[in-house]
Structure 1
């Protein structure tokens, strides 16, 4: 199924490696405005390629890339490889150390209906167009998307561990995550990786808009190329692949914040909620996220001065009228949006993805602060979705509701770049590997 190949990455010149901390950047869709402004001050920070500034950002990225290549800011590796990427991290409130192990390669771009790359959320056209334009101008995959493959035998991990004995470089990001990169260049070992993925489907964990941008660009180029062979650079996309069977794959919850609702009345909201949920007041709001852990259809509600645990009355589940498959209806996030956001708060389901009254926050502490300081009228605290449920939905051919997942940590930008320019791509890699 999934065809992967090694690549010859473009990387920062060795003279710049001591400053790698100042060159990497968060992904374009998670970087804050404050972070952006700080990183823009460094003329060689990778943000100039991933989130370019100006009235014509794609053209500016193209110009920056050309200058960097000419001046030797980035140089191309001479031997193709699969780049091993480990992320060491801890979660707030836990003493456990995690290490998410994976590798970066090129993967063939498949259309969604080919069922090789399985998306778990929909994309927004404006964001896809933005990524497509930058890809078209730069001919560069600036940062890898994140895909998951299934391997209960953990065949590849031993080769990755061996590679990590001689890392190329490492850095620590703004969240305290240690990112380490190494490379495998042995053709025999690379063949083990490529062969092992041939019977795998890939669940796209993160980077839906970037992958969709590659897919859109491939279709454009294929339509305009009468001699299309399938081997052109535009047929490939850079991806970070991790084993979904690993216990170090963490999916964090994404809480909902409600603000700006006209005539918002906590008492009336709670009366409507009580018709569908078992409600229990919580004395210490700081305990709320722990009280609901592991309980199906259980949520926390934070108001200014009050906190509640709510859990759907099981007999009410059948009252969901949205025409979703049963697997989707049974998800916590569906129950939340139907019974709380639509029925109790009066925001119709069809407006949930565009409503200005709903925002998202992954920090429980932030949610509590925003409610306490009246930046939000209420916060809805949710459980994380399990990897098993993600697999169940994706392999069944369905898509999860909006903001169901947040794979942590995010991949950083700047460790390596991948050219799909025809001249560079075909000297890039021996496709017979």
Structure 2
């Protein structure tokens, strides 16, 4: 069974940090080199210096960004820039954002420690493939700092919304921390020390599997770190802090839980011609040409609305290759995907829009290999719906594939089947802010029952 526990979070000392917006940061894997520099300039105490420090000339095994991060972490603790809560707690965490067509949306959840479970137990379910490079990077950071600086994003199912009902009254008080990020998302945090509430919230998840929404690399890194630390022990009880990881838990039935699409841009294909490609597509898809003005926001919005409606009935993808035409590609027969998967593969995986695009279109028709996709040799991923039009029009890219959102039921079904979706199949927005709470993996402490 899934086991969660309260913990003593390390947090920024608001007596010394008057403006917490200057010290928090998005997750490391969405920080560009430009944003990294901006975060460095905002404050000498910005968390980016810990989660994604700069690589400097002359770095070696004894002096590198991981060693520097560990030194800064210790120094900030010594100087009370960061302070550790005295009482084990869970931390309610709401994010308020604007969603087109919906207005203000609030995603509700909480942060606690989750006991690390091997995927074979079925208690923690991934849905994405991971890469070795990021895991090696995060493992070095964890070994050096002995801390989780960013939470893993976990989902559980509770149609009755018990946790929300238990904590509703607690959130009537002023948040312990409120931060507005660069995207205008408002992040609110409440510390909960009430043992009765904590026990009920922990019991809520005891018989539920947890689905990883975001942070697959960090979760696998935590497993590797746990095994590393266990290898250093003559014996272990399983209650040591290294057996747990910082996780944000959100109810997949929550109305504020939305998944957004990630679109694909293709470039660098030699001798590509649109007409033969459209002809080949017509063997598998109903190809519908739609006249539109790529420079007009209302016209682009109409394309998105049509794509969404088509996707409600059958797997559908949009194609824009320049000019004033967008093509809607609607799969004729789902059984054509059987040839691209093992016979044991679930229908949920075979009929995902992203599976169809990657296996049938990118690999078979455009000859972009899985390795090239992974390395983004001919492929770029982009979140914003409007940008692909201008990027293709400018000639930087040959075409754009416009995607619908993966549905929450598809995430659950693929994860339950023990399968992995193609890269960038889900985009959970907003991202969890790093720097609200930190889990220090103290060597002399145990998780309390």
Task: Classify the TM-score, shorter chain.
Answer: over 0.9
- Structure 1 stretch displaced more, 131-140 or 33-42: 33-42
CA distance change for structure 1 residues 350 and 37 in 2, over 3 Å: closer, same or farther?
closer
1:46 aligned partner: 47
Among 71, 85, 89, the alignment partner of 1:63 is 71
Partner Cα separation in structure 1 for residue 2 and residue 234 of structure 2 = 25
Normalising to structure 2: TM-score of the pair? Answer: 0.92
Partner Cα separation in structure 1 for residue 428 and residue 243 of structure 2 = 26
Deviation by residue 1:193-242 (Cα, 9 ceiling, x = unmatched):
11111111000001111111110010111122112111111111000000
The within-5 A match list for 1:249-398 is 249-284=257-292, 285=294, 286=300, 287-294=302-309, 295=311, 296-305=314-323, 306-314=325-333, 317=336, 320-323=339-342, 324-349=345-370, 351-398=372-419
2:297 aligned partner: none
1:125 aligns with 2:132: yes
Q: CA deviation at 1:278?
A: 1.1
**Kept in 2: contact 1:320–1:338 (CA 8 A):** no
Secondary structure class of the residue paired with 1:300:
strand
1:185 aligned partner: 193
Deviation by residue 1:299-357 (Cα, 9 ceiling, x = unmatched):
11111213211111127635633324433111111111222212331223454323400
Alignment length, in residue pairs?
427
Q: CA deviation at 1:95?
A: 4.1
Partner Cα separation in structure 2 for residue 88 and residue 373 of structure 1 = 35
**Kept in 2: contact 1:84–1:163 (CA 8 A):** no
Secondary structure class of the residue paired with 1:14:
coil
CA distance change for structure 1 residues 419 and 288 in 2, over 3 Å: closer, same or farther?
same
- Structure 1 stretch displaced more, 399-408 or 182-191: 399-408
Q: CA deviation at 1:116?
A: 1.0
Q: CA deviation at 1:165?
A: 2.1
Partner Cα separation in structure 1 for residue 222 and residue 198 of structure 2 = 24
Deviation by residue 1:356-407 (Cα, 9 ceiling, x = unmatched):
0011111111111111111110000011011111111212222222211111
**Kept in 2: contact 1:21–1:171 (CA 8 A):** yes
Secondary structure class of the residue paired with 2:139:
helix
Partner Cα separation in structure 2 for residue 320 and residue 338 of structure 1 = 10
1:149 aligns with 2:149: no
**Kept in 2: contact 1:385–1:405 (CA 8 A):** yes
The within-5 A match list for 1:73-88 is 73-88=81-96
Partner Cα separation in structure 2 for residue 110 and residue 319 of structure 1 = 32
Deviation by residue 1:165-209 (Cα, 9 ceiling, x = unmatched):
231010111111110000110111111011111111000001111
Q: Which runs of 5+ in 2 are unaligned?
A: 295-299
**Kept in 2: contact 1:272–1:343 (CA 8 A):** no
1:202 aligns with 2:217: no
Among 79, 94, 116, the alignment partner of 1:109 is 116
**Kept in 2: contact 1:163–1:183 (CA 8 A):** no
Partner Cα separation in structure 2 for residue 14 and residue 136 of structure 1 = 28
Q: Which runs of 4+ in 1 moved over 6 A?
A: none
Normalising to structure 1: TM-score of the pair? Answer: 0.95
Secondary structure class of the residue paired with 1:21:
helix
CA distance change for structure 1 residues 113 and 276 in 2, over 3 Å: closer, same or farther?
same
Secondary structure class of the residue paired with 1:262:
coil
Partner Cα separation in structure 1 for residue 267 and residue 51 of structure 2 = 31
Among 437, 441, 444, the alignment partner of 1:416 is 437
Partner Cα separation in structure 1 for residue 120 and residue 337 of structure 2 = 31
